[in-house]
Structure 1
Amino acid sequence: MTQFDFMAVLAEWPLLLTGLAWTLGLTLVATPLGLAIATLGAWSRACGPAWLRRLLGGYVELLRNTPFIVQLFFIFFGLPALGVKLSPEAASLIAMTLNLGAYGTEILRAGIQATPRGQWEAAQSLALSPVQTFLRVVLPPAFQRVWPALTSQIIIVMLGSAVCGQISTEELSYAANLIQGRNFRAFEAFIVATGLYLVLAVLARRLLTWAGPRFVFGRGSGHG
Structure 2
Amino acid sequence: MYTFNFEPVLAGFDKLLIGALVTVQLSCAAMVIGLIVSILCAAGKTSRVAPLRWVIDAYIEIIRNTPFLVQIFFIFFGLPALGIRLSPNSAALVALVVNFGAYGTEIIRAGIESIQKGQIEAGTALGLSKLKIFRYIIMKPALRTVYPALTSQFIYLMLTSSVVSAISADDLAAAGNDLQSATFASFEVYIVITAMYLVMSIGFSAVFSMIEKVAFRYPLSR
Deviation, structure 1 residue 11: 1.2
- The alignment of Structure 1 onto Structure 2 pairs a total of residues equal to 221
1:8-157 mapped onto 2 (5 Å cutoff): 8-157=8-157
Look up the match of 2:210: 210
- Matched letter for residue 45 of structure 1: K
Look up the match of 2:193: 193
Distance 2:131 2:160 in 1: 34
Distance 1:109 1:221 in 2: 20
Distance 1:147 1:72 in 2: 27
The CA RMSD measured in Å over matched residues stands at 1.4
Deviation string 1:159-200 (CA, Å, 9 cap, x unpaired) is 111011111111001011111100101111111000000000
Q: So what's the TM-score if we normalise by structure 2?
A: 0.95
Distance 2:17 2:48 in 1: 44
Look up the match of 1:168: 168
Distance 1:13 1:5 in 2: 14
Deviation, structure 1 residue 28: 1.5
Distance 2:27 2:74 in 1: 20
Look up the match of 2:219: 220
Contact 1:111 1:143 in 2 (8 A): yes
Look up the match of 1:177: 177
Find the residue that maps to 2:137 and give its secondary structure. helix
- Matched letter for residue 120 of structure 1: I
Find the residue that maps to 1:47 and give its secondary structure. coil
Structure 2: state its 5+ residue gaps.
none
Find the residue that maps to 2:220 and give its secondary structure. coil
Percent same amino acid among aligned pairs? 43
Deviation string 1:71-125 (CA, Å, 9 cap, x unpaired) is 1110000000000000000000001011111100000111110111111110111
Distance 2:175 2:107 in 1: 33
Contact 1:42 1:106 in 2 (8 A): yes
Contact 1:213 1:219 in 2 (8 A): no
Deviation, structure 1 residue 220: 2.0
Distance 2:46 2:214 in 1: 26
Comparing 127-136 with 201-210, greater Cα deviation is found at 127-136
Runs of 4+ with >3 A deviation: 212-215
- Matched letter for residue 202 of structure 2: V
Structure 1: state its 5+ residue gaps.
none
Contact 1:180 1:186 in 2 (8 A): yes
Comparing 129-138 with 80-89, greater Cα deviation is found at 129-138
Distance 1:153 1:48 in 2: 28
Deviation, structure 1 residue 39: 0.5
Deviation, structure 1 residue 209: 2.1
Contact 1:18 1:172 in 2 (8 A): yes
